[in-house]
Amino acid sequence: MSARRPRSSLLLALLTLALAAGCAIAVRPPRQPVTEDARHAIDLLVTRWHAVTDFRALADIVLERGGQRQQLNGVVLAKAPASVRFEALSPFGQPFLLAVVHDGRLTAYNAVTREATVGDATAETTARLLNLPFEADDLVAVITGHAVPPRGLRRAEILPPDTLGPSISLIGDVNEQRVWMDFQTGIVRQLQIIGGRAAATVTYDRDAEGRLTGFEVSAVDRYITASVKYRSSATGVGLTPDRFALTLPKDAKTQPIR
C-alpha cells in the first residue's frame, strides 16, 4: 500500500472508523413531543453509551473507495467520551501511519514521508478532509459498537419492524439517525446516518454472546465500503490520557486542515 500522503492514506483509514457521522441537515424540523416508548429506547442507548470507558483492539481494515482497494492492519484505541488513536502497522510491527483525535484536536502523521496534518476535530474541519463530517464522540461510539443519539433531538419515532427488525428514527440539529436495536437491552445491530444528500450505514458484527467483533460500513452515494475486523479486543483496560498524546518530530512537515 502506498503511504505517500496522510490525506490519501491515513485519513482514508480514519474514514473507515468515522463514516457513521453523516452530514448536516439543511433544514431543521420542528420539535415534537417524544413518546414514552421512544424515550425508553433513547434512555437505553444513552445508558449503554455512558457505560463505555475505553477500548483496545487489533484491527484488520479493508477499504474500497472509487474502485481502489486498501488494506491496513493496526491498533485501535478509544476512550470515552471523545479520544481515539489509530496506528497502521508495517509487516515488521512498526507504526507508519498514525491518527489521533484528543482534546478537540485531530492529528494525522505519516512516519514515512514525515508529513502531518493538524486541526480542530470538529464536524466542519473533518468534512474538508473526509467529505463526511463527524464528531469525536460519534467516532468513539462507532468503534465500540454503540449509537449516540443526535444532539438537539427534535423528533423520535419507533418504526415498524422490517427485515432487520425494529428500529427508531432520531432527528437532531445536525443529522438524522435510524437505529436498529434490541429494545430490551439497547444493543445496536445497525446504524444509519443521513445528512443532507449523504447517507452512511454501519452494521455491527457480534458473536453469539453479543460481543463486538467488528463492523461493516457503506456509503453508496460516495462509492465507499469498508470492513473492520477486530482481534484481541478488550474493554475497560484503563487507558490513560497520555496514550492519546502524539508529539510530532521537530522536522515533521506540518500543514493545517484547510
pLDDT in tens, 117-153: 898 887 666 555 555 546 788 889 999 999 999 889 9
Residue 164 CB-density burial (10 A; 0-12 exposed, 13-18 middle, 19+ buried): exposed
Ramachandran angles phi, psi of 12, nearest 5°: -65, -40
- The whole-number pLDDT of residue 139 equals 86
pLDDT at 196 over 60: no
The β-bridge relationship of strands 95-102 and 212-219 is unpaired
**Residue with the three cell numbers 450505514:** 201
pLDDT in tens, 71-85: 999 999 999 999 999
Tell which residue, 157, 125, 133, has the closest CA to residue 20.
133
Pull the grid cell for residue 4: 505517500
- The whole-number pLDDT of residue 59 equals 96
Residue positions counted in the chain:
258
Residue 72 CB-density burial (10 A; 0-12 exposed, 13-18 middle, 19+ buried): buried
Q: What's the chain's average pLDDT?
A: 85
The crossing angle, in degrees rounded to 10, of helices 136-144 and 11-18 is 70
**How far is Cα 135 from Cα 18, in angstroms, rounded to an integer?**
9
Share of the chain above pLDDT 90, in %: 59
Global confidence as pTM: 0.84
Q: What domains sit in the chain, N to C, each tagged with a CATH number?
A: 7-235 (2.50.20.10)
Helix, strand and coil content of the chain, in percent to the nearest 5, comes to: 20, 45, 35
- The whole-number pLDDT of residue 198 equals 62
Collapsed DSSP state (helix, strand, coil) of residue 222: helix
**How far is Cα 156 from Cα 182, in angstroms, rounded to an integer?**
16
Task: Characterise 102 by phi-psi region: left (phi > 0), alpha (psi -120 to 50), beta (else).
Answer: beta
Q: Identify whether the C-beta of residue 215 lies closer than 8 Å to the C-beta of residue 203.
A: yes
**How far is Cα 257 from Cα 224, in angstroms, rounded to an integer?**
22
